[in-house]
Amino acid sequence: MEIGVGFTPFETRSDVVVRVAQHADRCGLDFVGVAEGWTHDALIVLAEIALQTSRIGIGSGVINVLGRTPATIALGAAGLQRCSGGRFTLGVGAGSPPLAEGFHGMEWNQPITRMRETVVAVKALLDGQRLPEPVNGAAPLRLGSVPDVPVPLALAALSPSSIRLAGELADDWVPFLWARSRLGEGRALLATGEKHADSARPTRVCPAIPVALASTEEGARALAAWWLTTYATRMGPIYPRLLSERFEMGRAMEAVVEASTDGAPTLPTEADGLADEVTLMGTYDDAADRIAAWLGATADAVNLVLPPGRPEAELIEIVDIAAEVRRDAVDAPAETPPFS
């Protein structure tokens, strides 16, 4: 069992990110991920973390393939693998129309094709090969210094075609806001893609789960409402379409948005099932059971995405709780499954 923590682009305090990552390292958590959007360069923040931690895995969770060339991604990945001593995992995704077009100035066109081409090129460069398809007949170049330790690849994927791509090309599948009860569906799609992989190895299922833990049930519900409202109204059409159409939770999504239009985000009871499916909602006392539910749903690892802008002490408390859950699972007798 692996448990890690992650940060969204909404978390603008890079100093807090680094300190929480240091605490997670000391507490024995397995990894820390930093997402990239419009705030900080994730690879630079991860370099800060790498140089100020000793054992925890670090990863980009995730960077946008429309925001960098394969060569710049490979250069960053190789550098992070070097300065972290082999602890880096490269997480990539197709991003979203608002991010690609509104920030990077790139047309949102054939994102799956672009992701495949980018991943294939990055993997080739990190393996010491030449760029597969240089432009205008130029002489193909290779990376001047390849990592001593291979860089694992994690792919954020939500559509069936992109999940199959993760099964074919990635070491880890890292969906965000995915329904817990549908992890098995994701595994089936991964298995289809794995049939086309170069090596016979299963792709690990490592969901990134928005954390809505608080000292009170009311506080937890408010956090869950913030996550759902934000990703329904501010992050483009991908997440609303996933939750409303793919997972058939459209009425619950509408109820959350309607309940939050006149003030602070509010979670109506009609949306309880939605929040339970896609977030880690509960009081601190509920945390162990909530994490166990995700691991019991066939996740190989869980990435607890911390709520942005919350007091640092609150984030530290969540890290401590996650670390305690992990220790209890490791210390459980071999004949007794954790959380049974």
**pLDDT over 80 at 197, yes or no:** yes
Q: Determine the Cα–Cα distance for residues 77 and 146; give it in Å rounded to an integer.
A: 10
At 315 the pLDDT is 98
**pLDDT over 70 at 333, yes or no:** no
10 contacts: CB under 8 Å, gap ≥ 6: 37, 39, 230, 308, 309
Helix, strand, coil share (%) of the chain residues, nearest 5: 50, 15, 35
Lowest mean pLDDT among 95-99, 126-130, 195-199, 254-258: 95-99
Report how many helices (DSSP H) and strands (DSSP E) the chain contains, helices first.
Answer: 13, 11
**pLDDT over 60 at 335, yes or no:** no
292 contacts: CB under 8 Å, gap ≥ 6: 325, 338, 339
- Its pTM stands at 0.94
Phi then psi dihedrals of residue 209, to 5 deg = -115, 120
Percentage of the chain with pLDDT > 70?
97
What is the number of other CB atoms lying within 10 angstroms of the CB of residue 158?
18
Give the residue extent of every domain in the chain: 2-215+280-331
**pLDDT over 50 at 223, yes or no:** yes
What is the number of other CB atoms lying within 10 angstroms of the CB of residue 338?
18
Q: Determine the Cα–Cα distance for residues 47 and 79; give it in Å rounded to an integer.
A: 9
**pLDDT over 80 at 261, yes or no:** no
Cα dist from 78 to 45, 133, 222, whole Å: 15, 20, 40
CATH topology of domain 2-215+280-331: TIM Barrel (3.20.20)
How many CA within 13 A on the CB side of residue 193? 27
